[in-house]
Amino acid sequence: MINNFSEDDLIPMSALSHVSYCPRRYALIHLEQIWEENRFTAEGDVLHERVHNEHSQSRKTFREEYSMGVRSLEYGLTGKCDLVELWFDANNKTENNAKNEVKNSAKDAKNNTENKAEDDTKNKTENRNPIKVNPVEFKRGRTKENDADRVQLCAQAICLEEMFHIPIDQAQLYYLQERRRKDIAIDENLRKTTIELTQKIREIRSSNQTPIAVYEKRKCTNCSLVDICMPEWTQKSVSRYIKRQISLIEQEHEEHEQKREQKCENY
Per-residue pLDDT of the chain (267 residues; tens, 9 = 90+): 677 888 889 999 999 999 998 999 898 998 888 865 544 445 545 554 665 555 566 667 899 999 999 999 999 999 999 999 999 987 765 444 555 545 555 555 445 544 444 444 333 333 447 999 999 999 988 888 889 999 999 999 999 999 999 999 999 999 988 989 999 999 999 999 999 999 999 999 999 898 888 888 878 888 888 788 877 766 555 555 566 668 778 888 888 777 777 777 666
Helix or strand holding residue 100 (H, E)? helix 95-110
Distance of CA 251 to the CA centre of its chain: 48
- Give the up-direction half-sphere exposure of residue 156: CA atoms within 13 A in the CB hemisphere: 30
Query: Which residues are CB-contacts of 108 (< 8 A; sequence separation ≥ 6)?
Result: 69, 118, 124
- What is the predicted pLDDT for the residue at 134? 97
Sign of the CA dihedral running 109, 113, 115, 118: negative
Count CB atoms within 10 A of the CB of residue 61.
16
> Does residue 158 contact residue 75 with C-beta atoms inside 8 Å?
yes
- What is the predicted pLDDT for the residue at 85? 95
- Give the up-direction half-sphere exposure of residue 207: CA atoms within 13 A in the CB hemisphere: 12
> Does residue 200 contact residue 22 with C-beta atoms inside 8 Å?
no
Sign of the CA dihedral running 157, 160, 162, 166: negative
- What is the predicted pLDDT for the residue at 215? 85
**Angle at the Cα of 125 (from 193 to 148), degrees rounded to 5?**
20
> Does residue 156 contact residue 75 with C-beta atoms inside 8 Å?
no
> Does residue 173 contact residue 142 with C-beta atoms inside 8 Å?
no
> Does residue 86 contact residue 59 with C-beta atoms inside 8 Å?
no
DSSP secondary structure string, 68-79?
EEEEETTTTEEE
Count CB atoms within 10 A of the CB of residue 134.
19
C-alpha dihedral, 212 to 10 to 80 to 228, nearest 10°:
-20
> Does residue 141 contact residue 110 with C-beta atoms inside 8 Å?
no
Q: What is the CATH number of domain 7-216?
A: 3.90.320.10
- pTM for the whole thing? 0.68
